[in-house]
Amino acid sequence: MINEINRRRARCNYKDLRPLERLTCEILENARRPLSTNEVADYTNMSWSTAKKHLENLSKRDIGVHSHKRGRTDLWFIEENKA
């Protein structure tokens, strides 16, 4: 399970983020729990596919955005890198 203390203290590394990626990170930082792709899309006024694309790109860039599968749903959160 996600370490709640580390998740709350973690912040995205905003270096070289585009505006929609920055907004996506801010939504995840302020969330009290992991959010589904659909919730991120709703909060950012993006389509589901656009939100999914940004979340996957942020996750691949190793800036702190991670996902956890619950059934068929991806739950997205920010966690401190252990490196």
The pLDDT-based confidence of 8 (bands split at 50, 70, 90) is: very low
Residue ranges and CATH numbers for the domains of the chain are 4-78 (1.10.10.10)
Where b means 16+ CB within 10 Å and e means fewer, 61-75 reads eebbbbbeeeeeebb
Can you tell me the distance from the alpha carbon of 30 to that of 78, in angstroms, rounded to the nearest whole number? 10
* Cβ proximity of 47 and 64 under 8 Å: no
Taking only the tens place, the pLDDT of each residue in 22-69 is 999 999 999 999 999 999 999 999 999 999 999 999 999 878 899 999
Which is more confidently placed, 66 or 80?
Answer: 66
Give the model's pLDDT for residue 80: 65
Whether 6 has a pLDDT exceeding 50, the answer reads no
For the entire predicted model, the pTM comes to: 0.79
What pLDDT is attached to residue 40?
97
